[in-house]
Every structure is written in structure tokens, then in C-alpha cells.
Amino acid sequence: MERKNVWTTYDEKQLKELESHAKEYMAFLNAGKTERECIDEIVNRIEKEGYQELQALIKDKKSLKTGAKVYAVWMNKSIVMFQIGKKPMEEGMNILGAHIDSPRLDIKQNPLYEDGGFAYLDTHYYGGVKKYQWVTIPLAIHGVVVKKDGTTVEVNIGEEDDDPVFFISDLLIHLAAEQLEKKAAKVIEGEALDIIIGSKPLVIDKNKNDKDKSEKKDKEGKKNKEAAKEAVKKGVLSILKESYGIEEEDFISAELEVVPAGRAREAGFDRSMILAYGQDDRVCAFSSLKAMLEVKNTERTACCILVDKEEIGSVGATGMESRFFENTVAEVMNLAGEYSELNVRRCLAASCMLSSDVSSAFDPSFASSFDKKNVAFLGNGMVFNKFTGARGKSGSNDANAEYLGHIRAIFDKESVHFQTAELGKVDLGGGGTIAYILALYGMNVIDSGVAVLNMHAPWEATSKADVYEAKRGYVAFLENASL
């Protein structure tokens, strides 16, 4: 089938809308480099647009009518939004679902140590990464430290121009003959991904040592020797104490994420692309969010789920496998006067969903890894993956033909540009999304999103045109899906 580069189809008005959307998307990426930061940014946006917090409505025993907008946050890492439609929720919802976690390095619970004159933080990588991509680049630390008294300290170091950054060292090329013989998976191993955070020893106050002139020399020498032990580590701890009120033991109850330092940037002389960290899957999360904010009153209730933990299997209390979403649907239906266990089941089974996640983009430099007939190209519109999974579709949701035909009709009617793809050649591997989890309810689900170059690398690339088409496609779906 003929593929059309969508840049050639836009008029001046659409190009202005595209650039405005891209600019807003880049600002979202800069503001939300962690799940918690994304949730804060999302809540600030949607409350300005009239969304009300679910627990407050429950407490006040408010009812929900057509057009009502409501949201619920879970553990500051996942969120679900609803715009109540004209039809009863029992007849199903139109759902967008994306994830807001991305591959990164997590700081361990006992991380701080000194070795060879450097202070380090020990890390554990999160999600699928090529470990060698994370060395020698500027890194930032984002997250929270929760102290024993319950107070939370927010940490964001490395993003401002006058902030320090951090890094992971690599062996100099002059001594790397043996290293270069290793397989890529072993060139840098997981336990070597410790970030360097300091090299300056804590300065000893000599005046203080001179106050007691009667102290014996051997005792004084022992004291100075003890003070010099792990002096770089002590220097870092002194800074953390002064700047944040953090003690070493506070790392036990901290969630600190190491991410690439730097802002999202336009890429290419033509500025047609966006280069940034975390576009898998915040590109679909943002486009889904924007679609929810743009839709008018709809026949069916519009819903958007943005969740955590997809990169490690959607597990845990904030992942899609949690009952958080199902419980929230029950609460919303109760406020709408529709609740029963049977109605909740009917609602979920009758719903339609776009599992909004990224797809691999064709890379001419590695053409042999792709089936060129069944791969997404940057600039050819949003992407549909009928199935994902690995090799023989293992672990995949596989959308039925009737549903795909329904989606095609919607997108053709609304002039949304789209393409179909697989993640790569059949026997090379694959990947998964949250689609199969929602499909457990019996609802129609298909994967759709944006093609990404350099997926899971510290810096990923997308086409502005594809980001724009994804938002347009999500709006069309929310307003028209009814299978």
C-alpha cells in the first residue's frame, strides 16, 4: 500500500496547530521527567479545565450528570479521568490508556559510598535499557525523600543552568582493548551504573582542633585520621543536610530517579522532529490528555487512564494490573446512580479502548531488523499495531478485524492519517503494552500511538507530525467509537 508523508497534506492553519501542539508537548516533557512530576502537571492542567477530584465528590455525596468531569489519582503515580457522556455508562466507555513511566536508573536504598576519592550513588536500572548508552552523559536526579516524621522533600537537581549534573564514568579508549571485545550487554554491567556525585573532601576545621592545646599528639592524630576517613562522602552528606535536611538513613524511604539532564529539543534543520527523554510513553500520555481536554459532550463516557509500571510488566499497586481502575469505575458509576456489580462488568465489557503506546520507527541504518512492508515511518501519521507480543505473538492482545474496521471508518471520516505496523521482524523479539490487561474485561482493544526512533535510549526521537496526528486521532476516537 502507498504510504503518504503527512507533512505534504497540511495547510497553513494545520501547520500552526501542529507547531503549537509540539511546543506544549515539549513543555510537558520538561515538566514531567518522573511519574510523580507528570501527575502534578496533569492535575494542574485538568483542574483548570473543570475536572473535580473523585474523593472530594464522594465525601460531599455529589452526583454526576452528563458533561461532568472527574479524576482520581492513585499513590501520586497513576491517574484516571472521566467525562460523563449522554448514554448510561453501562453501555460502555471510550477509553484511552497510556503509561507515564520510562526507562531510567533508580537510586538504591543504601546507595552512598566512597571509593578512590569519589562519592557514588549506587543504582538499579529500571525497564529495558542498553546500559552502555547511559555512561558519560549528563544526568539529573528527580524524586522524593520521605523522612521519618512524614515530611516529604522534593528533589530536582541537574535541570537548571546553574545546577550541578552527575555522570557515570567509562574506561578511556586507550585502555579499552579488552572491554571492546565484550558483547554489548556486558560492555557496561548493571552494577557499574553508579553515578559520581562528588570528589571534594569535607574540610576539617583546624582551628577547632587547636583549641585544646593539652590534648595529646597521638589522640589528635587519631582524631584527624578519623575525620579524613570517607571525607568525600561526608562532604556530600554535609551538602545534603544543609540544602535538603536529608540524613544518610533517609535514603531508605526515598524514591530517587536518575534521568538524562536537559530539555526537549527540536531536531533537524527543518525542526521537524523532537528529541527528548521519556517519549516512550509520555508522547501518547500527553496526546491522550490533550484529547480529553478538547472533546465536547460525547454520547459515551470518555475516559483516559495514565498509569505507572508498564516498563516492568504493569505490576504493583500503581500498574495497570492493579484494581485501581476497576474500583474507580465502580465509584464513578455509583455517583452517576448506575452502580451494581453487574453494571460495572457490563460497562467494562462494552467499552472500546485505544491502548496508546509507541511503536518502533523504521531506521535505515538498521534496515535488516524490520519488515519494511509492516513498519512505521516517521512522518506517516499515528500507528496501529493489531498485535504486539514477542515472536509468535506471545503475551499479546490481538485486536479483532471488526474493531479494526470500525476504527478505520472513524479515522477516514475525520481525515486522520494513520499507518499500521509491527515492532520488527517476527523472530527478533518484540514488546508489550497494557492492551492485554484491559482486554481481560472482554472489551475491544487495539494498540495505537506514535512511532519512536531510538526507543528506550536516553534520548528518543519523534516526528511533530505524528504527535499531532495522534492527538487528532484520539479526539476522533473519543467522539465517535461505539462498537
The dihedrals phi and psi of 458, each to the nearest 5 degrees, come to -55, -35
pTM exceeds 0.95: no
pLDDT of residue 227: 58
Burial (CB < 10 A; 0-12, 13-18, 19+), residue 427, is exposed
In this prediction, residues 435-443 reach a mean pLDDT of 93
The dihedrals phi and psi of 469, each to the nearest 5 degrees, come to -65, -35
Q: What CA–CA distance (Å, rounded) separates 193 from 105?
A: 8
pLDDT of residue 206: 55
pLDDT of residue 426: 79
Q: What CA–CA distance (Å, rounded) separates 459 from 276?
A: 5
Question: Using one digit for the tens of pLDDT, what is the confidence trace for 122-175?
Answer: 999 999 999 999 999 999 999 999 999 999 999 999 999 999 999 999 999 999
63-70 CB contacts, 8 Å cutoff, 24+ apart:
63/335, 63/336, 63/337, 64/332, 64/335, 64/336, 65/336, 66/297, 67/297, 70/332, 70/335
In this prediction, residues 75-84 reach a mean pLDDT of 97
In this prediction, residues 91-108 reach a mean pLDDT of 97
Q: Where does the pLDDT of residue 248 fall: very low under 50, low under 70, confident under 90, or very high at 90 and above?
A: very high
- Strand-pair partners of 112: 121
pLDDT of residue 205: 62
Q: What CA–CA distance (Å, rounded) separates 194 from 430?
A: 29
For the cut 90, the answer to whether the pLDDT of residue 224 exceeds it is no
Task: Compute the radius of gyration of the chain from its Cα atoms.
Answer: 25
Coil, strand or helix: which one is 204? coil
- What is the Cα 447 distance to its own chain's centre? 17
Q: Where does the pLDDT of residue 422 fall: very low under 50, low under 70, confident under 90, or very high at 90 and above?
A: confident
**Cβ atoms of residues 469 and 418 within 8 Å:** yes
The dihedrals phi and psi of 155, each to the nearest 5 degrees, come to -120, 130
Helix (H) or strand (E) holding 152: strand 152-157
pLDDT of residue 387: 87
In this prediction, residues 461-471 reach a mean pLDDT of 98
Q: Where does the pLDDT of residue 471 fall: very low under 50, low under 70, confident under 90, or very high at 90 and above?
A: very high
Q: What CA–CA distance (Å, rounded) separates 241 from 244?
A: 6
Q: What interhelical angle do 12-31 and 464-480 show, nearest 10?
A: 100
Q: Is the peptide bond before 308 cis (omega within 30 degrees of 0)?
A: no
Sheet holding 195-198, edge to edge: 152-157, 139-146, 254-260, 104-115, 118-126, 195-198
Q: For residue 385, give every residue at least 6 positions away whose Cβ sits within 8 Å of its Cβ, in sequence order, or none.
A: 359, 420, 421, 422, 423, 446, 447, 448
In this prediction, residues 86-93 reach a mean pLDDT of 97
Q: What CA–CA distance (Å, rounded) separates 216 from 248?
A: 32
For the cut 90, the answer to whether the pLDDT of residue 238 exceeds it is yes
Coil, strand or helix: which one is 139? strand
Place of cell 557499574: 192
Q: Where does the pLDDT of residue 218 fall: very low under 50, low under 70, confident under 90, or very high at 90 and above?
A: low
**Residue that wins the pLDDT comparison between 367 and 425:** 367
In this prediction, residues 90-94 reach a mean pLDDT of 97
Q: Nine-digit cell at 332? A: 464513578
Question: Using one digit for the tens of pLDDT, what is the confidence trace for 251-306?
Answer: 999 999 999 999 999 999 999 999 999 999 899 999 999 999 999 889 999 999 99
**Residue that wins the pLDDT comparison between 66 and 389:** 66
Integer CA distances (angstroms), 373 to 223, 362, 369, 401, in order: 72, 10, 12, 19
Return the closest-CA partner of residue 80 out of 33, 39, 25, 36: 39
pLDDT of residue 76: 96
Q: Where does the pLDDT of residue 424 fall: very low under 50, low under 70, confident under 90, or very high at 90 and above?
A: confident
